[in-house]
Amino acid sequence: MSATPKVRDVVATALTDPGIVLDDVTVSVAGKRKLVRVTLDMLPTINADGSTDEPTPALSLDDVADLSRAISDALDRDEPFGGAAYVLEVSSPGVGRALREPRHYRRNVGRLLNVTSAGATRTGRILRADETQVVVEIDETPTTIAYAEVERAVIDVEFASTQEGSE
C-alpha cells in the first residue's frame, strides 16, 4: 500500500485553519529518503448565490512557513514512514497548473484564463465562477462556459498590473 493516503491524513490533521485547503500530497523516493510534496491553497469566498466574483488572496511566505512547521511536527509525531528520514516541501499551486475543479476557477477570479472548449482556445478574464460554470470576459463580452465543456484551462501569466494607476 502506498504511503500517500496515510501521509495525506496526517497532513490534514495538521491543518487547523478552515480557510486553508489541502490541494495535493505526493510521496516519492529521493535516495534513501522519502520526498513529501504538499500543495496548499486558500479557500475562495463564496457569495450567497453560490458564485465567487472576487479574487482569492494567495498564501504568504509566512503562511507557508507556519504551515510547513505544523505539518513537519505532525509527520514527526505520527511517523507515517516508521521513523525513516523524509524531506518536506510545502508550497501553493503554481500558475501553470491545469484548472480541474470549480475551486480552481473560483480561486483565480480576476486573472486571465486560456480555455479550450469545442476545439477552440480563447483567452479572457475570469469575472465569476460557481460550481458548474465560469464567466469569462472574451473580447469585452461576458461568455459563460460550463466546466463540462472545458477540454483544458490554465491561467495566463500577466507581467503588467491590472489595476488602473498602478506603478
Placement of cell 504551515 in the chain: 67
pTM for this predicted structure: 0.81
For residues 66-90, give the mean pLDDT.
94
Query: What's the CA gap between 18 and 37, in Å, rounded?
Result: 21
Check if the beta carbon of residue 71 is closer than 8 Å to that of residue 14. Answer: yes
Does the pLDDT of residue 164 top 70, yes or no? no
C-alpha cell at 99: 484548472
Q: How far apart are CA 153 and CA 96, in angstroms?
A: 10
**Residue 146 pLDDT exceeds 90:** yes
165 has pLDDT over 70: no
The CATH architecture that domain 4-91 belongs to is 2-Layer Sandwich (3.30)
Q: Where are the domains of the chain?
A: 4-91, 102-156
Q: Are the folds of 4-91 and 102-156 the same? A: no
Q: What integer pLDDT is reported at residue 161 of this predicted model?
A: 57
Write the pLDDT tens digit of every residue in 114-125.
999 989 999 999
Q: Coil, strand or helix: which one is 5?
A: helix
Q: Which CATH class for the 102-156 domain?
A: mainly beta
